A and B are shown apart, each in its own frame.
Chain A
């Protein structure tokens, strides 16, 4: 009975069904014209993160001097050459970079031999949908005061004594017939200026002084404090480490014939380095007893896996 009722109901539904037709009330109206869209001349390729479109293009390195101040800058022109760029590294004064020597415009040095601060950029061009590196450029951004000023402020012996004004008696002693002439003061004999001592640190007793070194973690190194006067090496009487992390060193001071021996078991924080300052004593007939400081940056590295 149930089967018969269900079959009858299904048959009734099938017979009474009708198609549901949709009705468009606006079918009589003309269709609005659709503006033909022109295809893009070139497919847009989004640059990867870190790479941006260049709107200011490098022109030249500029070094300007204003009194004792020397400024190192870079001039640019506001134009787009269709290239892209990304920042490789931003370095401070004297800091080394993995990209030193790779920039086509080089990296200048300050008067004391340290490298100028600035930023390394890598330029790209878009070829066949890929970004191809073409060059590396260094944008310098630094300034320094002339060393002469620094030396003058450090050693009062070389500062010239101010010219003495003519005394009132001297002016009154001038003959009345003649026009008053201002007597020219003759400077008193001053001692010769102290010859500057250039201090440095090297890894060998006879190698060139370095501003920074990269050493592996735990590797034993010997740092030799050195002193130079007029590009001539002079013996160091004593030296002492006055600032910086000495690592595993046992002795922090010594004579000029012995180096500073140490190793570092700890890495500096990311992006940082150990800055060491050595103070050394020099005593020669032509220099007198003097002290000088030498600074060296130690970057400790350790092997690691790359992805």
Chain B
């Protein structure tokens, strides 16, 4: 029997070669799962903020014309609640929740119909829209010579139906 036909010890070599690859794949899967959870929480934060902002109407316009128009501070309310909701996910964020909310593009369309200059959408009801870039920590990606911070783009739109 020659040395080429001797398979003693190959399992050890195979394990030493494949184990790092398997660990890298496992870490990547875990990081992707964590990012999906973070994305869901950020999206829920934006949705809730727009819903709260739309849930108020202009009393003067209501008495004058009977039509539903958003309150004058709808955009501010949306930004404030976006920051509050993001604060609940602070360990996941790569930045202060208030700073992220302050940098978000919040637009209120008090009356309808209206056109969104950012998305081109047409709104047939009074609408609040949040578009934000939320930086989320991804340390495992950083350890794998990838980006340690992943930016999530989120858009939430709400209007009374």
A102–B123 Cα distance when bound, in Å, is 13
Q: Which residues of B contact A303 (CB under 8 A)?
A: 50-52, 54-55, 158-161
B113 touches A98 (CB 8 A): yes
Contact indicator B63/A216 (Cβ below 8 Å): no
Bits for B132-161, please: 1 = Cβ < 8 Å to A, else 0: 000000000000000000000000111111
Give chain B nearest CB distance to A205 CB in angstroms. 10
* Cβ-defined partner of B63 (8 Å) among A203, A211, A305: A203
Task: Name the residue on A nearest B54 (C-beta).
Answer: A303
Considering only residues 58-101 of chain B, those with a C-beta below 8 Å from chain A are 62-68
B56 nearest in chain A by CB position: A216
Q: What B residues does A212 contact at CB under 8 A? A: 66
Check B159 against A99 for contact (C-beta < 8 Å).
no
Q: Do the beta carbons of B66 and A305 come within 8 Å of each other?
A: no
Distance of A62 Cα from B64 Cα, bound (Å): 30
- Count A interface residues, CB 8 Å: 25
The docked-state distance in angstroms from the alpha carbon of A215 to that of B68 is: 7
Q: Does A210 contact B (CB under 8 A)?
A: yes
A212 to B158, CA, bound (A): 23
0 or 1 for each of A67-89: is its CB under 8 Å from B? (1 = yes): 00000000000000000000000
Confirm or deny: A304 has a beta carbon within 8 angstroms of a beta carbon on chain B.
yes
Q: Is the CB of A214 within 8 A of B54?
A: no
In residues 97-111 of chain A, which contact B (Cβ within 8 Å)?
Answer: 98-99, 102
Q: How far is the CB of A176 from chain B (nearest CB, A)?
A: 73
- A65 adjacent to chain B (CB < 8 Å): no
Give Cα A215 to B113, complex, Å. Answer: 18
What residues on B are CB-neighbors of A38 within 8 Å?
Answer: none
Known contacts A301-B161, A303-B160, A305-B157; is A213 also within 8 Å of B62 by CB? yes
Is A216 within 8 A of B160, CB to CB? yes
Distance from B9 Cβ to chain A, minimum over Cβ atoms (Å): 37
Residues of chain B touching chain A, judged by Cβ–Cβ distance below 8 Å, are 47, 50-52, 54-57, 62-68, 112-113, 121, 123-125, 127, 156-161
Q: Which residues of A contact B (CB under 8 A)?
A: 96, 98-99, 102, 202-204, 207-208, 210-216, 219, 299, 301-307
Q: List 11 A-B contacts (CB under 8 A).
A: A96-B66, A98-B112, A99-B124, A102-B113, A216-B55, A216-B56, A301-B68, A303-B160, A305-B50, A305-B156, A305-B158
